[in-house]
């Protein structure tokens, strides 16, 4: 996913490309070649709502909440009761976010509703459809809509499924503010909300650098604050294989950076999946083949293609060897395991950036190419491999996602395959082509967040319009969303969180809110407060520009 | 050497001491791990000695001028014991009492003072000894020693037989933090000081106030922070905060250089000090906006003298940074009183003369307070006649430009600090540390005498996009690249590729020590960062 463009950028980065380097950011921006708007922080009429809901009606009527009297509870008519632990967990989480973790204390002599007239005492959560999906997993077709009414004496959150309720709770928590006396307040409000796109993801790369579970969980938590719903776990790559496979333990034993301290055990994976589920987040694992697999070869002999130098093996290895039956036996068993470990209906199979030079060097592969009548066209060999792999995965009852090259090479895909567009420059054309062929697609090309630059690059991410390609209405409907990718070459636990947030928040709003939400000034104001809210919740989200948060980050 | 440069610690020196460390029994073999920044003279053998955390201790040499009770070293022993044995949780007292008791039983030895090499570290069987002229050199030596110790796969600690003679190439090796554009909580500053000591930086340039906020709580002018800070209670540095920073820095051999930048970059000052800033005019009426400090009023100089008097007593360092950069003349031009003053002074319409007039007055104030001034290059650029002992701080331009500036300034006999190539707040994709590493500070046309006038360099982390959430990973290990350039011999450290594995190793050491230093490239550390 990374090499050609990144190499070019790296070369650029190595040169002294800047002229004057002033203290003033506006001048520095000119140096960067792109003058930015001078954004002045002032309160938005939408407060700190992020991402902006589809329909919001705010009134000036203010109600108070106290940690003593306020509670979040199931509405009478709700199809989810106290047995719905997903919601009970969320109630507690959001109570703590709203009241800063303060303990609820019953004060003697004071009833719950005795605190005065303009007080909000309860948020009633009402799941309206017969099956709330409490114990289910979120999916691409999950209903995430909700309606929130804040009024006296109750606020009511209505959602067909728990997934919408989770988003509604987040929205509710964003409506609460402190007045000048520090009293928690909320204005009477009506919100009706649903996502513009169903697939709103973050890709983290745990192969270039190992990411401790704690970091992954913290980022799932932050994703929920931004209504993102897919964690694309690029779990293995050339550099390391941290996934501990029950069927092939040698893969991580040999291929991880360290077989014990730098692996994800089945229990770890379970924890991530469940943590995600409780926040309405799907976990889609990516096991990228046939390229990007150097680390696989360490624990699985004969899986990779031996490269030749002249007539002898050079000792190095290339992509997965597509001509051996053992390769497909291995893949069958491996993906059978994966299909049980990861409950999501989709698995990402990669398929990007296959380097043909090793295949070309190998005489056995040449013979095979001749037998198959592929001539010198190695992309046919690649397609041959992928086709077999896709058929294997299809037997595990999973859908699959693949990087755009697989589509470009003309591999026959299942109708429900998702094509992942990542190559910058021409992404619009690609979206057009993929959707014209009738495939669903997601966009990542403009959202490679590992590419950093000076100043407010979040604006660039924000201004992307995923449906700006040429195509029919039908084609546009095939775009189910996008993903912000944080590739791991230069990222690990030390810098991941501030690098991702709030830059990924910009992507989150683009994927959730209506297409006409584009006022960059209002966005700046809401995002500034939203980032301070993430900081107050313990997430080291980096600043947008010179300013301050009432509660600064307490870590270092 | 640490104190013999142009810039000294003066009042802190517990001078001339010799002391030593202790090790046990030789055994096995191991390749030597790197030290960052690279020492000047470094020899080591493959012979290695195990260290027993229970028996190991630091002690003062018998002939050492510093003995138990030297606050800097007593504290450093305690710090470095845990840095050297990060895993060790057993009982071991590093207090003076118990190690004096143990002294005889382990029989440690004292080296006689080495006259040739003021700072030398030698590790051999049974003992290691560290000689330094001052405690500051000793602190650096302890850091070096701590980096020599490594653990094998069983967790045992080892150090190889080693001889090191070391001293810094430049006496001024600084980091600038900007606490005005974002408030940086004290604990984040202290953490940065810790990391600075690991890279042998020795100056914390505290750009404490600027346009956006005035977090310094002044005793004399409390309104400055009351009205000029982001928040008058939570976003300020109290006097005790400042003392804490200075004391934390001192124990690590780090000077704290405060910057009170004027006459530009002072918007936040105006909130708590009326009539300090120039009222801008639109036509013949004040527009309501304010410009730089008003240089036409005598009250301005009285205020600055009082403030700087306070600052010079609060900050013990003998230097003070007066800023003087990026003054926008448009407001001065608009103001009729300023124009009248220009006429009176015979400045014509040359506003650089007005600025020079202002800076001259401010520099004179600091001279009177027995402090040496440091100013940004702008002051020299428009006014070459400034007191000879003033230090000029280069921040602008491409390598070609700053080389020209280095030539010009040193030719005028001025001492110079280089920051231009180390604006580390500017980020880009990839391994930009390589740019910081390959800077050649003395590669400009000039005589040997001129080159001596370059007293060092500084890494600047301006704060527009930086606060406690991202400061540490943005600063480290990128700043460490500059640290080696400023400490080590340039010939021995000319290969950026050779430096790469050593810096990767050092970065993992930083992470192990709890510093959120970001990775250089793909790979892993044995002990990854465990926070978020």
Pick B530's closest partner by Cβ from A19, A212, A452.
Answer: A212
ipTM of the complex as predicted:
0.88
Side-chain-side CA neighbours of A93 within 13 Å: the count stands at 19
Partners of residue B468 in chain A, C-beta under 8 Å:
540, 552-556
CA atoms of A334 and A331, how far apart (whole Å): 5
Q: Which of A23, A453, A535 sits opposite B325 (nearest CB)?
A: A23
A24/B532 Cβ within 8 A: no
> How much is the average pLDDT of B9-23?
39
pLDDT at B3: 30
pLDDT of residue A112: 46
Tell me if A540 and B468 make a contact (CB, 8 A cut-off): yes
- The pLDDT value recorded for residue B5 is 28
Lowest mean pLDDT among A412-426, B93-107, B400-414, B500-514: B93-107
The confidence band for B287, taking pLDDT boundaries of 50, 70 and 90, is: very high
**What was the pLDDT predicted at A16?**
31
**DSSP line for B228-292:** HSSSTTTS-B-HHHHHHHHHHHHHTT-EEEEE---SSS-HHHHHHSTTSEEEEEETTEEEEEEEE
Say whether pLDDT at B139 is over 90: yes
The answer to whether residue B16 scores a pLDDT higher than 90 is no
The conformation of residue A27, written as its DSSP 8-state character, comes to H
What are the pLDDT digits (tens) for A59-88?
A: 999 999 998 999 999 999 999 989 999 999
Residue numbers of B between 449 and 478 with CB closer than 8 Å to A? 462-474
> 3-class SS at B161?
strand
Residues from chain B contacting residue A36 (CB–CB below 8 Å): none
Shortest Cα distance from A257 to chain B (angstroms)?
Answer: 7
- Catalytic site includes residue A353: yes
* Chains A–B, number of C-beta pairs less than 8 Å apart: 191
B205 near A CB under 8 A: no
Task: Give the separation between CA B39 and CA B50, rounded to whole angstroms.
Answer: 23
Kindly tell me if the per-residue pLDDT of B9 is higher than 70.
no
pLDDT of residue B87: 84
pLDDT tens for B293-333 read: 999 999 999 999 999 999 999 999 999 999 999 999 999 99
Give the separation between CA B65 and CA B62, rounded to whole angstroms.
8
pLDDT in tens, B52-96: 999 898 999 999 999 999 999 999 999 999 999 998 876 554 443
Name which of B422, B521, B528 to mutate to probe chain A: the one with the most chain A Cβ atoms within 10 A of its Cβ. Answer: B528
Alpha-carbon gap: B259 to the closest alpha carbon of chain A (Å):
14
- Nearest chain A Cα to B181, which residue? A546
The answer on pLDDT for B12 being more than 80 is no
Q: Which residue has the higher pLDDT, A143 or B33?
A: A143
Tell me which chain A residues have a C-beta less than 8 angstroms from the C-beta of B429: 6, 9-10, 13, 450-453, 490
Q: Which helix or strand (DSSP H or E) is residue B206 part of? A: strand B203-207
Q: Considering only CB atoms, which chain A residues are within 8 Å of B474?
A: 495
Work out the average pLDDT over B413-436: 98
Alpha carbon of B64: minimum distance to chain A alpha carbons (Å): 37
Say if residues B239 and B218 touch (Cβ distance below 8 Å). Answer: no
Evaluate the omega torsion of the peptide bond into residue A51 and state whether it is cis, within 30 degrees of 0.
Answer: yes
Cβ-contact B218, B225 below 8 angstroms? yes
Please name the helix (run of DSSP H) or strand (run of DSSP E) that holds residue B50, with its range, or none: strand B41-51
Rounded CA-CA distance B30/B33 in Å is 9
pLDDT value of residue B109? 29
Determine the pLDDT at residue B385: 74
Within the 354-373 window of chain B, which residues sit less than 8 Å (CB to CB) from chain A? none
pLDDT tens per residue across span B105-126: 222 222 333 333 346 888 887 7
E strand or H helix at B226: helix B223-228
Task: Assess B212–A contact: CB distance below 8 Å, yes or no.
Answer: yes
B182 touches chain A (CB under 8 A): yes
* pLDDT at residue B41 in the model: 95
In terms of CA atoms, which chain A residue is nearest residue B511? A494
Contact A215 B265 (CB under 8 A): no
- With beta carbons less than 8 A apart as the criterion, state whether A318 and A307 touch: yes
User: Which residues of chain A fall below pLDDT 70?
Assistant: 1-41, 101-117
Q: Which of these, B415, B355, B410, lies nearest to B382 by C-alpha position?
A: B355
Residue A365 DSSP symbol:
H
A14 vs chain B: nearest CA distance in angstroms?
6
- Strand A304-309 and strand A440-443: pairing? unpaired
Three-state secondary structure call for residue B149: coil
Supply the residues of B annotated as catalytic. Answer: 326
Lowest-confidence segment of A291-295, B104-108, B390-394, B460-464 by average pLDDT: B104-108
Q: State which H helix or E strand residue A483 sits in.
A: strand A479-486
Mean pLDDT of B221-227: 98
pLDDT of residue B120: 82
- Contact list, A544 vs chain B (CB under 8 Å): 465
* Residue in B87, B178, B428, B437 to test binding to A, most A beta-carbons within 10 Å: B428
pLDDT at B33: 59
Cα A283 from chain centre: 9
Predicted TM-score (pTM) of this structure = 0.90
Question: Residue B384 — pLDDT band, cuts 50, 70, 90?
Answer: low
The torsion angles phi and psi of A204, rounded to 5 degrees, stand at -115, 145
List CB contacts (< 8 A) between A1 and chain B. none
Q: Residue A525: how many CB atoms within 10 A of its CB?
A: 21
Residue B1 has pLDDT above 60, yes or no: no
Cα angle, residue A461 at apex, residues A459 and A463 outer, rounded to 5° = 70
**Gap from A9 CA to chain B (nearest CA, Å):** 7
Q: Mean per-residue pLDDT for B163-183?
A: 97
**Chain A partners of B437 at a C-beta cutoff of 8 Å?**
none
User: Is pLDDT at B132 greater than 80 in this prediction?
Assistant: yes
């Amino acid at each position: 996913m990374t090499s050609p463009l990144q190499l070019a950028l790296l070369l650029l980065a190595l040169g002294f490309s800047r002229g004057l380097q002033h203290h003033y950011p506006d001048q520095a921006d000119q140096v960067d070649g792109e003058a930015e708007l001078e954004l002045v922080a002032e309160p938005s009429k939408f407060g700190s709502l992020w991402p902006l809901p589809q329909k919001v009606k705010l009134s000036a009527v203010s109600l108070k909440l106290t940690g003593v009297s306020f509670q979040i509870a199931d509405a009478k008519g709700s199809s989810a009761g106290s047995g719905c632990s997903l919601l009970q967990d969320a109630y507690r989480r959001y109570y703590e976010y709203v009241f800063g973790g303060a303990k609820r204390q019953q004060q003697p002599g004071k009833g719950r509703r005795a605190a005065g007239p303009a007080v909000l005492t309860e948020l009633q959560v009402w799941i309206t459809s017969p099956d709330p999906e409490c114990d289910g997993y979120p999916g691409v077709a999950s209903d995430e809509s909700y309606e929130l009414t804040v009024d006296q004496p109750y606020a009511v959150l209505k959602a067909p499924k728990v997934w919408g309720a989770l988003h509604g709770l987040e929205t509710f928590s964003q409506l609460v503010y402190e007045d000048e006396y520090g009293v928690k307040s909320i204005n009477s409000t009506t919100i009706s909300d649903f996502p513009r796109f169903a697939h709103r993801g973050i890709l983290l790369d745990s192969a270039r650098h190992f990411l401790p579970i704690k970091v992954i969980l913290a980022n799932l938590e932050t994703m929920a604050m931004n209504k993102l719903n897919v964690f694309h776990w690029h779990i293995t790559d050339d550099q390391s294989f941290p996934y501990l496979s029950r069927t092939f333990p040698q893969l991580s034993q040999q291929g991880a950076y360290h077989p014990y301290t730098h692996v994800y055990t089945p229990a770890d994976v379970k924890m991530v999946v469940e943590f995600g589920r409780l926040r309405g987040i799907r976990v889609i694992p990516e096991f990228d083949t046939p390229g990007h697999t150097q680390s696989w070869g360490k624990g699985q002999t004969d899986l990779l293609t031996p490269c030749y130098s002249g007539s002898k093996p050079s000792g190095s290895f290339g992509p997965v060897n597509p001509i051996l039956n053992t390769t497909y036996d291995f893949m069958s068993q491996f993906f059978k395991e994966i299909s049980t470990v990861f409950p999501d209906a989709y698995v990402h199979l990669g398929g990007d950036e296959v380097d043909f030079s090793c295949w070309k060097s190998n005489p056995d592969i040449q013979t095979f190419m001749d037998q198959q009548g592929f001539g010198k066209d190695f992309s046919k060999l690649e397609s041959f491999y992928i086709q077999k792999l896709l058929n294997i995965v299809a037997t595990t009852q999973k859908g699959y996602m693949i990087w755009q090259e697989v589509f470009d090479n003309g591999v026959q895909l299942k109708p429900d395959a998702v094509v992942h567009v990542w190559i910058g420059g021409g992404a619009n054309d690609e979206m057009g082509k993929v959707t014209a062929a009738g495939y669903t697609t997601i966009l990542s090309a403009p959202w490679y967040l590992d590419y950093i630059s000076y100043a407010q690059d979040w604006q660039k991410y924000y201004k992307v319009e995923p449906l700006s390609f040429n195509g029919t209405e039908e084609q546009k409907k095939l775009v189910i969303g996008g993903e912000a990718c944080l590739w791991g070459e230069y990222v690990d636990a030390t810098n991941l969180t501030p690098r991702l947030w709030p830059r990924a928040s910009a992507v989150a709003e683009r994927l959730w809110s209506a297409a006409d939400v584009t006022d960059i000034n209002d966005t700046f104001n809401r995002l500034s407060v939203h980032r301070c809210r993430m900081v107050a919740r313990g997430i080291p989200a980096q600043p947008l520009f010179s300013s301050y948060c009432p509660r600064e980050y307490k870590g270092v | 050497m640490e104190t013999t440069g142009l810039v000294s610690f003066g009042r802190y020196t517990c001078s001339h001491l010799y002391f030593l460390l202790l090790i046990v029994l030789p055994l096995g073999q191991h390749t030597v791990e790197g030290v960052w920044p690279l020492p000047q003279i470094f020899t080591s053998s493959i012979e290695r000695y195990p260290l027993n955390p229970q028996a190991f201790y630091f002690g003062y040499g018998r002939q050492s001028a510093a003995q138990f009770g030297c606050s800097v070293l007593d504290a450093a022993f305690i710090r470095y014991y845990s840095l050297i044995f990060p895993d060790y949780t057993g009982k071991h007292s590093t207090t003076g009492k118990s190690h004096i008791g143990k002294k005889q039983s382990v029989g440690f030895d004292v080296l006689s003072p080495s006259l040739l090499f003021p700072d030398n570290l030698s590790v051999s069987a049974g003992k290691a000894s560290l000689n330094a002229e001052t405690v500051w050199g000793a602190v650096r030596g302890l850091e070096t020693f701590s980096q020599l110790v490594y653990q094998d796969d069983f967790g045992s600690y080892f150090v190889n037989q080693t001889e090191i003679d070391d001293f810094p190439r430049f006496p001024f090796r600084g980091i600038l933090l900007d606490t005005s554009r974002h408030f940086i909580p004290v604990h984040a500053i202290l953490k940065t000081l810790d990391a600075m000591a690991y890279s042998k930086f020795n100056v914390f340039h505290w750009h404490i106030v600027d346009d956006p906020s005035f977090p310094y709580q002044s005793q004399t002018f409390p309104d400055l922070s009351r009205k000029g800070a982001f928040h008058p209670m939570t976003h300020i540095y109290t006097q005790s905060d400042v003392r804490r920073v200075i004391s934390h820095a001192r124990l690590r051999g780090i000077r704290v250089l405060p910057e009170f930048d004027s006459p530009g970059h002072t918007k936040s000052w105006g909130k708590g000090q009326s009539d300090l800033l120039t009222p801008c005019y639109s036509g013949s009426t004040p527009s309501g906006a304010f410009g730089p400090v008003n240089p036409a009023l005598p009250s301005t100089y009285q205020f600055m003298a009082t403030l700087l008097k306070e600052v010079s007593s609060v900050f013990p360092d003998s230097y003070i940074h007066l800023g003087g950069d990026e003054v926008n003349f448009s407001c001065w031009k608009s103001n009729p009183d300023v124009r009248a003053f220009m006429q009176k002074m015979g400045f014509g319409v040359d506003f650089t003369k007005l600025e020079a007039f202002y800076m001259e007055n401010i520099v004179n104030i600091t001279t009177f307070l027995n402090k040496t001034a440091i100013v940004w290059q702008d002051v020299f650029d428009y006014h070459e006649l400034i007191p000879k002992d003033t230090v000029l701080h280069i921040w602008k331009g491409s390598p070609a430009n700053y080389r020209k500036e280095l030539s010009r300034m040193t030719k005028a006999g001025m001492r110079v600090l280089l920051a231009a190539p180390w604006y580390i707040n500017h980020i880009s994709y990839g391994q930009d540390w390589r740019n910081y590493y390959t800077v050649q500070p003395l590669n400009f046309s000039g005589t040997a005498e001129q080159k001596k006038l370059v007293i060092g360099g500084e890494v600047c982390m301006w704060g527009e996009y930086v606060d406690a959430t991202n400061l540490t990973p943005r600063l480290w290990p990128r700043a460490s690249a500059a640290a080696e350039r400023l400490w080590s011999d340039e010939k021995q450290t000319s290969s950026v590729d050779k430096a790469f594995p050593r810096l990767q190793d050092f970065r993992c050491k930083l992470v192990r020590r709890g510093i959120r230093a970001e990775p250089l490239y793909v790979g892993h550390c044995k002990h990854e960062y465990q926070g978020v």
